[in-house]
Amino acid sequence: MLSRTADHLYWMARYIERAENMARVLDVTDNMSLVPNAAASEAALWGPALEIAGAVTTYEDLHDTITANEVIHFLALDPRNPSSIYSALLSARENARAVRAAISSETWENINSLWLEFAQFQDMRLLEGHLHEFCDWVKSRSHLFRGVSFGTMLHDDAFRFLRLGTFIERADNTARLLDVKYHLLLPNDEEIGGAVDYYEWSAVLRSVSAFQAYQKVFSDSIEPWRVAELLVLRQDMPRSLHACLGEITAILDQLPGRRNSECLRVAGELHARLRYGRMEEIFQGGLHEFLEDFVVGNNNLGLEIQRSFLNAQAA
């Protein structure tokens, strides 16, 4: 297939996934604001959301203070923020438009109608009251995108590049979310296990749709190290790092070989760390360091995919 087409498919899926993850972060942060004493201030509550989005500097360029309303608008609707849901969905749709001949018409129509529906939220200044509804909408459109593409597209290389985009982006997002939250939620000088902690951790779990999974796997109180285990090492947890890398290596195995060897090597290395890693060892080396390493490694994998397949020069 055309390299440019593969590139658009890959980014289309990445942007949809990015929008979904942003919606998850917004939703969960907003929920936390309902828990008494959850955070000392609006800034303490909403600052981390900006951190997860990697958008602190952009935000500071535009705003003097961190307020719930401004952060919500900035992360959801602001065209000036390249990682806002607005920007992600616009980019997804522009990428889809560029390859509408290469995706199933159902997939295209789904993304196109998503964009048309988005207009109704764009003009609303009422996110305060409707944030939950909005986030649910973004999430369900993202689910629909995956379902429609899975169910209507030929499972060929085009589909594989699309899926690669989904899982590279998802792995990145889960790692960032866990890093920021873990860092915040484990102050050394405080006792772990209070009520706020419980809400905080259940919120983290809910943000990656893992609350029920946690109960099912551990059927026990929420312990931070178990949350980390679930989101890092559990292979059967759909948003865990291990699950994402499992998908990625399986997809890379099916792609044409000649240009693929470096991608396979980088992905295999990352995958092995998750497949054979043990939580105790990860904690010994520091979870933060581990996640930071992972984000860099995952990013390199993305660049390698880009180099090998998507920016193919006249070779």
Binding site for other proteins (CB under 8 A): 1-6, 90, 93-94, 97-102, 105, 108-109, 112-113, 115-116, 157, 161, 255-256, 258-259, 309-310, 312-315
Cβ proximity to other proteins: between 40 and 101 the closer is 101
Cβ proximity to other proteins: between 42 and 109 the closer is 109
Cβ proximity to other proteins: between 78 and 229 the closer is 78
CA distance 31 to 121: 20
Least Cβ distance, residue 251 to other proteins (angstroms): 13
Residues in the chain: 315
On whether the CB atoms of residues 72 and 48 are closer than 8 A, the answer is no
Least Cβ distance, residue 77 to other proteins (angstroms): 14
Least Cβ distance, residue 84 to other proteins (angstroms): 14
On whether the CB atoms of residues 245 and 263 are closer than 8 A, the answer is no
- Using the 8-state DSSP alphabet, how is residue 64 labeled? S
Closest C-alpha to 161, from 296, 269, 20, 302: 302
Least Cβ distance, residue 29 to other proteins (angstroms): 27
Cβ proximity to other proteins: between 1 and 186 the closer is 1
251, 256, 261, 265: CA torsion to nearest 10: 10
CA 306 remoteness from chain centre: 19
Question: Two tokens at 260?
Answer: 């693929």
**Residue 287 one-letter amino acid:** L
Least Cβ distance, residue 258 to other proteins (angstroms): 7
Cβ proximity to other proteins: between 4 and 139 the closer is 4
Cβ proximity to other proteins: between 39 and 263 the closer is 263
Least Cβ distance, residue 26 to other proteins (angstroms): 22
CA distance 78 to 308: 34
